[in-house]
Amino acid sequence: MDQSVVEHYASAGLDNANVQNYLDSATSATWRFVRLNPRFPVDEVLSQLTAEIGVEPVRVPWLPENARFFAIPGATTIKNLSTYEEGKIYGMDCSSGAAVAALGLNNNTNNVSGETRVLDLCCCPGAKLCMIVDELLGLRMEVVGVDISDSRLNISKKLLRKYIINTDANTLVKLFHADGTTFPNPKSDSLVFDSRAEAQETASSKGRKRMNKSARAREKKRLKELGGEKETGKIEKKEKKTDEPAARGSDSLFDYVLVDAECSTDGALSHLKHKNKSLKSSETVTTTIKKKLDDEGNLTALQLSLLNAGFKNLRVGGTIVYATCSLSVKQNEGVVQAFIEEHKGVAEAVPIDFGGQMTPAVTGPHHSLRFSPTLTTEVGGVISGGGFFLCKFIKK
């Protein structure tokens, strides 16, 4: 095994003896996690899921109960379950869920417009986006997802169509194909999904499961028309040349921003293997991680740019959460420190509270949280997911 990878994991608290176990555990995790769609009764879904997998799912106790995270046996193939096919559950690591829970979406008491606006700056493949919408059910909301990958945005659209399209008129969800480091940029951003336009098309399609040629043309036209507006619904004047959202007025800013940044993924090997099916052994995983870590300088520059862009899009008094699924100090504490130095007196790091429950996380500098890299085991009786890092800020 490459010594630099061993040293990387050693810096995260893994000794030489258990590094190999950690790399191997991605294919034999004790737990995997599902999140229940709140549009279905909890008891009904749990009963159906229990019958399918043969054991009772275990609620993840350290996340808020309304987050609806449950652990099921690690060998379960979720896509084969009827609860999954019917849109009642979806797979999502509980550590990733912690990034959304950390936003504190239910505590938006400083909203003067009556509408909660949330930006998910690196939104794909879309599970966190769905959770954000679910956390705000019943409230007037605008949720904007941004990603630079066409293929991953297609996955997000499918997920949104499956889980949240039949929601009420107070909910607006948009997806932009855009560079998160420069969003919003009217010259390059492209609107690829609008939930209200989607709902209109669904209503006019009369139950067709797939769009025909005319339906696709209508969708394209609607999105093109809507794409002439910025994410606030206000048309951007061509003569305004600025990348600072504040120049357009406070109503164009967001109450909450989530930056789950691109990273080396070394803290969530199951996720890494899910994205790349060719990673069938600890050796190929090690090689992939080494390549990512060798490019860490460019990676941390990207992460800081994303965090800065998210902060520009945040209103005063708003909340931003920075997250990665890496164990790297450079990608986590290093990026946070650089961000704080760049925004002294404006960005205030604050503690993350999941409701007072014990979590499988260690508190670090600036109230940051590092989740155990033990990959879906029990730590002191607390069910944990993959390795994850979180830090939360308020804009002063």
Q: Which tokens go with 336?
A: 């946070």
Active-site entry in 122, 123, 130, 325: 325
Q: Find out whether 179 is annotated in a ligand binding site.
A: yes
CA distance 216 to 266: 39
Q: Find out whether 255 is annotated in a ligand binding site.
A: no
Cβ-contact 239, 299 below 8 angstroms? no
Half-sphere exposure of 307 (CA within 13 A, CB side): 33
User: Across the strands, what pairs with 141?
Assistant: 116, 171
Pairing state between β 254-260 and 314-324:
parallel
Q: Environment class of residue 38 by beta-carbon count within 10 Å: exposed (0-12), middle (13-18) or buried (19+)? A: middle
Cβ-contact 312, 339 below 8 angstroms? no
Half-sphere exposure of 128 (CA within 13 A, CB side): 31
Cβ-contact 371, 386 below 8 angstroms? yes
Cβ-contact 107, 136 below 8 angstroms? no
CA distance 250 to 313: 10
Q: Closest Cα partner for 394 from 332, 342, 346? A: 346
* 263 flagged as catalytic: no
CA distance 179 to 185: 8
Q: Closest Cα partner for 182 from 146, 128, 145? A: 146
DSSP state of 78: G
Q: Find out whether 147 is annotated in a ligand binding site.
A: yes
Q: Which tokens go with 310?
A: 């998210």
The residue whose two tokens read 């990512």 is 292
CA distance 190 to 146: 10
Q: Closest Cα partner for 307 from 247, 345, 347? A: 347
By annotation, the residues acting in catalysis are 325
Write out the binding residues for S-adenosyl-L-methionine: 147, 179, 260
Write out the binding residues: 147, 179, 260
